[in-house]
Amino acid sequence: MKDTFKHQGLRQKLVDILIAKGITDKNVLAAINTIPRHLFMDSSFLDHAYQDKAFPIAADQTISQPYTVAFQTELLQVKPKDKILEIGTGSGYQTAVLCKLGATVYSIERQLELFKKTSKFLPKLGFRAKQLIFGDGYKGLKTEAPFKGIIVTAGAPFVPKPLLSQLAIGGRLVIPVGDEVQTMTLFIRKSEKEFEKHEFGEFRFVPLLEDKN
């Protein structure tokens, strides 16, 4: 598990690409500049780790494209100590970005293989989520609600109600909504009953799957 000058140089180039694509949040860019993305991927993909592309991880899933991670994280507006819920832990890369920003992170994954692998891997790199959960993200995490931010990293066919209801007042839900193609959507909770909705560009995610249990 090495991070070399070569990797650091490639990361700086990736950050330059993200800036060119419109990412401005300095803290998000700094997090991406320090997190060794190549270590979150299978070794055969090492050469690709710092291209702005999504790549396969275990269990037919993907590590999100860096631009997508940056875009979603920027929309969340994370501040240190904010309680954040992530749906779709996957490789743990997005989880690591949230940890790096100082958030108190809860993350849910429905694939046991990925849950186990990432639970072992993240602490090795020094990223300590408050809790990694094996479960169904459609339900959110009622016991720890309300959250300052909720980020969904799989394509949701609809907006799960529990995620909206588990937002703090002023809290933000960032969720790609759609079947084949998803519209990045931001909900801001204005009051108990009112939500402001903003829509951004189109993205492509692996699907948010409902548990059959």
Nearer to ligand SAH, 121 or 194 (CB): 121
Smallest gap from Cβ 192 to ligand SAH, in A, equals: 26
- Give the C-alpha separation, 18 to 15, whole Å: 5
Q: Which of 78, 185, 96, 184 has the alpha carbon at shortest distance from 132?
A: 96
Note whether 104 binds ligand SAH by CB under 6 A. no
Beta bridge partners of 149: 84, 172
- Give the C-alpha separation, 137 to 119, whole Å: 17
Residue with tokens 């991670």: 69
Q: Per the omega criterion (within 30 degrees of 0), is the bond before 36 cis?
A: no
Note whether 94 binds ligand SAH by CB under 6 A. yes
Which residue in 29, 38, 50, 64 binds ligand SAH (CB under 6 A)? 64
Note whether 62 binds ligand SAH by CB under 6 A. yes
Note whether 182 binds ligand SAH by CB under 6 A. no
Catalytic residues: 64
Residue ranges binding ligand SAH (CB under 6 A): 61-64, 87-88, 90-91, 93-94, 108-111, 114, 136-138, 153-154, 206, 208-209
